[in-house]
């Protein structure tokens, strides 16, 4: 069956690669035109919060509750929100905690997404070999299509 509307997730982390991925995700969402609306989810995944132990009397607040978070969030989501508004694409922005690749893939399954758009890794070959990359992990394990933007 031909399905023109798409559900698209784009990973946001504030890097130039994620800005390019955001622009490409908006382009993909706007391809079907104004009559058929695609859903675009811009997702930033922050590292897991440190689990408090019995010695922590004052555990750290999550990043989203720290002073200055709103300004930082606005700066990180600026490109995707601006480009989506200009293209008339509906956008839902969200911040999650956990392993970026795992959280993006879980969200894609939950929302029944058609594609995950991520920027290519900015890491060198050695770092990528030791640490892995989000884009590699997603491309190998996601249940839907993956679009890696360079």
Write down the pLDDT at residue 47.
81
Domains and CATH numbers, the chain: 7-49+60-149 (3.40.50.620)
Written as six digits, the tokens of 68 are 């200055």
Write down the pLDDT at residue 59.
60
pLDDT band at 131 (very low <50, low <70, confident <90, very high): very low
| Exposure class string for 56-93: b at 16+ Cβ within 10 A, else e | eeeeeeeeeeeeeeeeebeebbebbbebbeeeebebeb
Written as six digits, the tokens of 52 are 């408090």
pLDDT digits (tens, 9 = 90+) for 3-30: 566 899 999 998 899 999 999 999 999 9
pTM (2 d.p.): 0.83
Q: How many CA atoms does the CB half-sphere of 85 hold within 13 Å?
A: 7
More confident residue, 129 or 57: 57
More confident residue, 27 or 150: 27
Residue 132 has pLDDT above 70, yes or no: no
pLDDT digits (tens, 9 = 90+) for 76-124: 999 999 999 999 999 999 999 999 999 999 999 999 999 999 998 755 5
Write down the pLDDT at residue 6.
86
Write down the pLDDT at residue 130.
44
The structure tokens 């509307």 sit at: 5
Would you give the DSSP letter of residue 63?
G
How far, in Å, CA of 52 to CA of 57, rounded? 9
pLDDT band at 52 (very low <50, low <70, confident <90, very high): low
How far, in Å, CA of 39 to CA of 30, rounded? 10
């Amino acid at each position: 069956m031909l399905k023109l509307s798409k559900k698209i997730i784009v990973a946001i982390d504030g890097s130039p690669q994620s800005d390019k991925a955001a622009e490409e995700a908006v382009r993909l969402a706007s391809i079907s035109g104004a009559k058929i609306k695609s859903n675009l989810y811009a997702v930033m995944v922050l590292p897991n919060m440190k689990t408090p132990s019995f010695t922590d009397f004052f555990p750290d607040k999550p990043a989203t509750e720290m002073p200055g978070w709103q300004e930082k969030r606005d700066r990180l989501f600026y490109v995707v929100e601006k480009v989506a508004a200009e293209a008339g694409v509906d956008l839902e922005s969200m911040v999650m905690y956990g392993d970026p690749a795992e959280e993006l893939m879980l969200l894609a399954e939950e929302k029944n997404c058609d594609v995950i758009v991520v920027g290519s890794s900015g890491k060198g070959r050695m770092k990528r070999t030791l640490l892995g990359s989000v884009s590699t992990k997603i491309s190998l394990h996601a249940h839907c299509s993956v679009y890696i933007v360079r």
